[in-house]
Amino acid sequence: MSKLFFLIFLSVALISCDGGTSSNTETKKIEASTVTDSSGTTVTTNGTVIRLNPGGTPEIIEDPNGDASVIQNPDGSFTVTSSGGTTVFSADGSIINQPNLE
């Protein structure tokens, strides 16, 4: 009988100390933000400021993270990519596509 009691006790003890791991990871939602100024000459997306050059390639004039790139597409639109995400603009600075980031 004592062996049975001991086995039950040992089983309960092992189950309660299963060596499980816990995680303290935190999920943060990153919200992309894009603003076109009222004069229509610059666009700010995820902290990166792009100058809209009439008839020319859009130009990065401020890049706080140092990782932004701007590519002009054949149709005149342009794509800005940085650690904050990727945003596609029409030639006049209107947003064509800005995916939600999570």
In the predicted structure, residue 13 carries a pLDDT above the cut 60: no
Sketch the domain layout of the chain as residue ranges.
29-102
Read off the pLDDT of each residue in 39-44 and give the average, rounded to a whole number: 78
- Of the two residues 18 and 59, the one the predictor is more confident about is 59
Give the pLDDT score at 23. 46
Quick one: pLDDT at residue 87? Answer: 86
Asked whether the predicted pLDDT for residue 21 surpasses 60, the reply is: no
The pLDDT value given to residue 17: 54
Confidence of residue 47 (pLDDT cuts 50, 70, 90): confident
For the chain, the distance separating the N- and C-terminal CA atoms, rounded to the nearest angstrom, is 57
Strand order in the sheet with 42-45: 34-36, 42-45, 48-51, 59-62
On the question of pLDDT at 68 being above 90, the answer is yes
pLDDT value for 37: 60
Global model pTM greater than 0.85: no
